[in-house]
Amino acid sequence: MTDLVQKLSDTTQFIRSHCSLKPRVGMILGSGLGNFVDSIVPEWSCEYSQIPHFKTTSVEGHTGRLILGKIGDVPVAALQGRLHLYEGYNAQEVVFPTRTLAMLGIQVLLVTNAAGGLNKKMTPGDFMVITDHINLMGDNPLKGKNLEQLGPRFPDMTEAYDRSLANLISSCAKGNKLNVWQGVYVGLPGPTYETPAEVRYLQSIGGDAVGMSTVPEVIAANHLGVRVCGVSCITNLAAGLSSGKLSHNEVTTTAKFVEQKFKHLVTQLIGEINAHLDKAPAKR
């Protein structure tokens, strides 16, 4: 066994020794969106620092906790807080928790994040269903020797974000009377926000929202054959598109402001994804 496969196996065994729940849907909760976990009836939860081989996250608004439990009758696993490249981790380290969720048996991964809107018509507090991404992070979790046990050397990314799940999220959000867009997420390493010139570049290459996360996890999930869907909370307009400067405070304040709406959307969504899975066979 390679070192990574051995580590994943240790971690999975540790979690299974504490909780027998087999999650069907996995979730990664981004900046300021972590309080959604209150909607989960927990069976077991654990700080990242107590889980073998998990690294801890240092970002404000992220506590670093894995929760296994149920939303309605759907078994879920939620990562409250994620690792980022700007914390000094490489992409392979960033995706270790995502790979762990896959080992636990999730069939769908729902990723959430806070992002800057690249479209001037967006308003802070809007949501964007992610239809595709552009990886400008300068790293890829699949770099290096491929582990055939996990997936293929050259994974297809034609539908990295499952189209039918994306449409499901859009209709769910519209049903909740939320302002919802569909679009392309551009992932940058951070930690600086973009310059206005970079924002114009990102617009010109087809980006709709920009952030510092998500891309590594989505690549790892696709490699493992897990279906992915994602929602960005547009916490601000990207640099230069509105008057004033950007701050992390603005990002967390907007995320806090939409928290209730977001909780409501995701809770409903989990039920809908579960029903959808019953109808559409999983990739793996």
Residue placing its CB nearer to ligand HPA in the complex, 175 or 196: 196
Q: Which stretch binds ligand HPA (CB under 6 A): 52-60, 126-134, 207-215, 262-270?
A: 207-215
Cβ–Cβ < 8 Å for 25, 69? no
| Distance set, CA 146 to CA 19, 151, 169 (Å) | 30, 8, 33
Check 135, 232, 236, 274 and give the catalytic one. 236
For ligand HPA, the binding residue among 102, 251, 266, 269 (CB under 6 A) is: 251
Residue placing its CB nearer to ligand HPA in the complex, 37 or 212: 212
- Catalytic status, residue 47: no
**Angle of CA points 75, 76, 80, to nearest 5°:** 155
Q: Which stretch binds ligand HPA (CB under 6 A): 89-97, 154-162, 204-212, 258-266?
A: 204-212
- Catalytic status, residue 62: yes
Q: Determine if the peptide bond prior to 141 is cis (ω within 30°).
A: no
Alpha helices in 67-162 (DSSP H): 91-94, 96-104
Binding letters toward ligand HPA, positions 86-115, x by CB under 6 A: ----------------------------xx
What pairing do the DSSP bridges indicate for beta strands 180-187 and 74-80? unpaired
- 69 belongs to the binding site for ligand HPA (CB under 6 A): no
Minimum distance of ligand HPA from residue 118's CB (angstroms): 9
Alpha helices in the chain (DSSP H): 3-18, 91-94, 96-104, 163-175, 196-204, 215-223, 248-257, 259-279
Residue placing its CB nearer to ligand HPA in the complex, 96 or 185: 185
Residue placing its CB nearer to ligand HPA in the complex, 49 or 242: 242
Give the residue at shortest CB distance from ligand HPA. Answer: 116
- 193 belongs to the binding site for ligand HPA (CB under 6 A): yes
Distance in angstroms (rounded) separating the CA atoms of residues 78 and 111: 10
What is the full DSSP assignment across 11-68?
HHHHHHHH-----SEEEEE-TT-GGGGGGSEEEEEEEGGGSTTPPP---TT---EEEE
- Catalytic status, residue 114: yes
- 258 belongs to the binding site for ligand HPA (CB under 6 A): no
Distance in angstroms (rounded) separating the CA atoms of residues 238 and 245: 10
Catalytic residues: 31, 62, 84, 86-87, 114, 212-213, 236, 248
Contact positions vs ligand HPA (CB under 6 A): 114-116, 193-194, 210-212, 235-236, 238, 246, 251
